[in-house]
């Protein structure tokens, strides 16, 4: 059986802990490889390799670091098909969707090519008599990233591209569900000229994560995954004195106003709700039509579209979405659908009994649509992370806004309307980090920053864009005075350069 180890010090190394996890092909339900789960000792090796490589890497001038990123972009484009096939095989999403996953990561690498400009400090000439003051943005040292299964190319690149470009060395702990692409990314960036040890990939589970959170050699931690783990990562890493950002789960609402173009709104909901089998942190899982007539029109527009969705393995043509990632995930989704029925929601489209001919052991789930969902039902309060869309009928615009604002999560949200006033008011007042106006998945591009609000995030700075440069660097401010500006004698009072 294919065995996936780690990538430490510039080469692939086998796992030595003796612990492994199965990696499935979700379309067939079969185990295709097993991935090594690192012990704290293996993490130590990666930290040692990263520490050794970091100072020299940081000392390279920023154009040289940028050129590695440039060559990496070229290699990602060259290997796009290979990476997408590899990704779909372990994740289950369609090959086109995998290419989108890689492309969105690649764009963060393109953003990181701008590091000579992005990392520039500031300078104040004549801040006092004979005094100049300047600030520098220096790398933290060794950073670590812990990533979820759903974007095994994009999210690692969200983290390691800006971290490495700014002069850090990096340890990536990818999801144990789809570990092949992250290792391949490490090989490709080495081919692009990255020195050995600057990017390391350590596969593993909770044991590796907990070792990262307390490791004295790691200065910064970035996490993306579910909210309970994000909150644990945030608290533990902070307790150990690390800079930390941790991104969690979501329940993204899409408000449909009575004046919206109903066909466009329904198409948007279908793509955003069921694309990637709903396994996106920016998936729309709640539709909020305003008014009964809007709700009836929306459900009428959604139902035939959902019934004609094409589900299948990534190897088939014209597939809208594939299986979910694991049997455990499938069981959880089915369980929540049962809860929805038991708690009184109307299951308008029932995908529970979908079976894929020839792939009976695959983790396939048909699309489900619930209507008349209430705010206290489990299918509304919990993240389902599957192909299940809930319609919550709101009487008024204020009620719709209140639903998004009162939800525990605040990752993404959208409003569909032709009314500029309503859209503007919504964008201003909604308590959510990323807002779409007639855009169902408002995932910011690489040169803006990505992040939610409320319990979708723990920490201050967001992913990629300007925030990522701040997160992966720390500011040092130098106040300099040369002998001609120094007065004789000791100064005992607080230095004040200009009074009055």
Q: How far is the CB of 409 from ligand NAD (least distance, A)?
A: 8
Closest to ligand NAD by CB, 149 or 426: 149
Closest to ligand NAD by CB, 172 or 265: 172
DSSP code of 394?
A: B
Interface residue with ligand NAD, options 146, 192, 290, 368 (CB under 6 A): 146
Q: Does 385 bind ligand NAD (CB under 6 A)?
A: yes
Q: How far is the CB of 196 from ligand NAD (least distance, A)?
A: 24
Q: How far is the CB of 153 from ligand NAD (least distance, A)?
A: 12
- Contact status, residue 185 vs residue 198, Cβ threshold 8 Å: no
Q: How far is the CB of 361 from ligand NAD (least distance, A)?
A: 21
Q: Is 281 a catalytic residue?
A: yes
Q: Which segments of 123-279 does DSSP mark as H helices, in order? A: 154-165, 180-191, 206-214, 227-239, 262-274
Q: Does 343 bind ligand NAD (CB under 6 A)?
A: no
Q: How far is the CB of 432 from ligand NAD (least distance, A)?
A: 12
Q: Does 323 bind ligand NAD (CB under 6 A)?
A: no
If you search the block for the tokens 């942190």, which residue do you land on?
A: 281
Give the range of 133-141, 245-253, 337-345, 415-423 binding ligand NAD by CB under 6 A. 245-253
Q: Does 306 bind ligand NAD (CB under 6 A)?
A: no
Q: Does 244 bind ligand NAD (CB under 6 A)?
A: no
DSSP 179-224: -HHHHHHHHHHHHTTPPTTSEEE---SHHHHHHHHH-TT--EEEEE
- Contact status, residue 131 vs residue 485, Cβ threshold 8 Å: yes
Query: Does residue 468 sit in helix, strand or coil?
Result: helix
Nearest residue (beta carbon) to ligand NAD: 225
- Contact status, residue 390 vs residue 287, Cβ threshold 8 Å: yes
Task: Output the CA–CA distances (angstroms, integers) from residue 389 to 196, 203, 352, in the order listed.
Answer: 46, 33, 13
Interface residue with ligand NAD, options 175, 276, 449, 468 (CB under 6 A): 175
Q: Does 245 bind ligand NAD (CB under 6 A)?
A: no
Terminal CA-to-CA distance of the chain, rounded, Å? 77
Give the Cβ contact number of residue 308 at 10 Å: 10
From CA 304, how far away is CA 362, in angstroms rounded? 25
Q: How far is the CB of 185 from ligand NAD (least distance, A)?
A: 15
Q: Does 381 bind ligand NAD (CB under 6 A)?
A: no
Give the Cβ contact number of residue 19 at 10 Å: 16
Which of 281, 336, 400, 423 is flagged as catalytic? 281
Closest to ligand NAD by CB, 92 or 248: 248
Q: Which residues are catalytic?
A: 281
| Residues engaged in binding ligand NAD (CB under 6 A) | 146-151, 173, 175-176, 205-206, 209, 224-226, 229, 247-250, 281, 383, 385, 411, 452, 456
């Amino acid at each position: 059986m294919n065995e996936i180890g780690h990538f430490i010090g510039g080469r692939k190394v086998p796992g030595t802990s003796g612990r492994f996890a199965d990696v499935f092909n979700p379309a067939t339900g079969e185990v295709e490889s097993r991935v090594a789960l690192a012990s704290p000792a293996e993490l130590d090796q990666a930290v040692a390799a990263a520490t050794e490589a970091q100072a020299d890497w940081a000392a390279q001038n920023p154009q040289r670091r940028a050129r590695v990123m440039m060559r990496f972009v070229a290699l990602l484009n060259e290997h796009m098909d290979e990476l997408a096939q590899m990704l779909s095989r372990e994740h289950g999403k369609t090959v086109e969707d995998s290419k989108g996953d890689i492309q969105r990561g690649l764009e963060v690498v393109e953003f990181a090519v701008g590091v000579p400009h992005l990392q520039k400090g500031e300078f104040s000439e004549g801040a006092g008599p004979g005094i100049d003051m300047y600030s520098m943005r220096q790398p933290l040292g060794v950073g670590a990233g812990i990533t979820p299964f759903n974007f095994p190319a994009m999210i690692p690149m969200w983290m390691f591209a800006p971290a490495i470009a700014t002069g850090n060395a990096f340890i990536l702990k990818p999801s144990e569900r789809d570990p092949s692409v992250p290792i391949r990314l490490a090989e490709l960036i080495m081919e692009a000229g990255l020195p050995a040890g600057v990017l390391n990939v350590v596969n593993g589970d909770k044991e590796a994560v907990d070792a990262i959170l307390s490791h004295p050699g790691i200065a910064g931690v970035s996490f993306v995954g579910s909210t309970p783990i994000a909150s644990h990562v945030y608290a533990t890493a902070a307790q150990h004195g690390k800079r930390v950002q941790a991104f969690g789960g979501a329940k993204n609402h899409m408000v449909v106003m009575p004046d919206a173009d109903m066909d466009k709104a329904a198409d948007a909901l279908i793509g955003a709700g069921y694309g990637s089998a709903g396994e996106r942190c920016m998936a729309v899982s709640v539709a909020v039509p305003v008014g009964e007539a809007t709700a009836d029109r929306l459900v009428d527009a959604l139902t035939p579209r959902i019934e004609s969705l094409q589900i299948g393995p990534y190897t088939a043509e014209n597939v809208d979405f594939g299986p979910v990632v694991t049997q455990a995930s499938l069981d959880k989704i089915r369980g929540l659908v049962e809860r929805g029925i038991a708690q009184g929601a109307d299951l308008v489209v029932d995908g529970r009994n979908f079976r894929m001919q020839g792939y009976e052991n695959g983790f396939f789930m048909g699309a489900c649509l619930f209507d008349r969902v209430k705010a206290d039902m489990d299918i509304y309060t919990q993240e389902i992370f599957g192909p299940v869309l809930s319609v919550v009928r709101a009487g008024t615009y204020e009620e719709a806004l209140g639903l998004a604002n009162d939800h525990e999560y605040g990752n993404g949200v959208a409003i569909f309307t032709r009314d500029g006033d309503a859209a503007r008011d919504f964008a201003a007042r909604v308590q959510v980090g990323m807002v779409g106006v007639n855009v169902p998945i408002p995932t910011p591009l690489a040169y803006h920053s990505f992040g939610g609000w409320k319990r979708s995030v723990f920490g201050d700075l967001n992913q990629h864009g300007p925030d990522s440069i701040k997160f992966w660097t720390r500011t040092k401010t130098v106040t300099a005075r040369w002998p001609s500006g120094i007065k004789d004698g000791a100064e005992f009072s607080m230095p004040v350069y200009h009074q009055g």
